[in-house]
Amino acid sequence: MQNIAILCSGGDVSGMNPALKHFVEYSLQKKLIPYFIYDGYEGLIDNNIKKASCEDVSSIINRGGTIIGSARSKRFMQKEYRKKAKQNLDSLNINQLIILGGNGSFRGLDIFYKEFGVNFCAIPSTIDNDINGTDYCLGIDTSLNIIKTSIDSIRDTAASFKRAFVIETMGKDCGYLALISAITSGAELCLIPEIKYDLKSYEKNFKNQIRNGKKYFIAIAAEGIHQDSNEIANWFEKQIGIESKVSVLGHIQRGGNPTIYDRLMGYKFITYAIDALLDQRKESVICYTTCGFKYKSINEVVNIPYVLDSKLIDLYYK
């Protein structure tokens, strides 16, 4: 029987635990011995690697985050620690890895493969949804649903008090979360890093809306824009003439009960990943687009910058 291991790296997402559950179950079905690597690459370096069983994944499918932990490892950037990681895998006869993570995690994995030849399949897992080659990353659906619920709740107060609310989403330099949330919540303003903006261009329209009976505004701001959310709130008060508040959603966007879609996709990603390794694919990333699942090389993913879909941008800005 072959040994296979899985780890989570970088930011946690809801959907990782369903993926871990299916990893154990599907590995055993395929006559593989599954191992958990705890705390990402840090655990790989520290030999925090343990054989996994069905008991370990009982009752985790509804939990956010990851039961095996995650981390961002500076040590893994150094070859001496990558060598130690390889020795730990060799001691357990593990030469197949599945990684749940984002671009930074994939780059480290690419180097590790080129140095030591450990076969892998990577699964895009980040609420930023900023990985080239895939339209969907594990966890994005749960995050969007949490944002949706938050915006809907804030709208009640905005309408009651006749206020503007500036709601800040995560996403680093990618505006995906903000854009999709703005489209699906009917937000009056959406500011993302990908689109240059001038708040002055909105002033006449917003003032006209107030004169015509508009009582509140919802503005979605991605964290990667050049302005602080408080500056935008001040603009609403000084230039538009409406009381304004800021709500920074923060890390609630990462956690929470995984949606049905993220649970299902976690299962599908794992199935494709294990099948890839059994089919002797040595280094691949499993991506999902409108054409379905597709295996891509690590170079296709990490060496090409992610670009927000222009059709999504057009939905809001045109």
- How far apart, in whole angstroms, are the C-alpha atoms of residue 155 and residue 234? 19
- How far apart, in whole angstroms, are the C-alpha atoms of residue 178 and residue 169? 6
Neighbours of 180 (CB within 10 A): 22
Q: Which amino acid is at 255?
A: G
State the catalytic residue, choosing from 12, 39, 110, 128.
128
- How far apart, in whole angstroms, are the C-alpha atoms of residue 81 and residue 41? 10
CB 35 within 8 A of CB 4: yes
Sign (positive or negative) of CA dihedral 222, 228, 234, 239:
negative
Q: What is the DSSP string of 125-184?
A: B-TT---TT-S--BTHHHHHHHHHHHHHHHHHHHHHHT-EEEEEE--TT--HHHHHHHHH
Whole-angstrom CA distances from 48 to 77, 90, 195 are 18, 14, 44
Q: Which two tokens mark 165?
A: 């609310």
Q: Residue 128 catalytic?
A: yes
Q: Which residues are catalytic?
A: 128
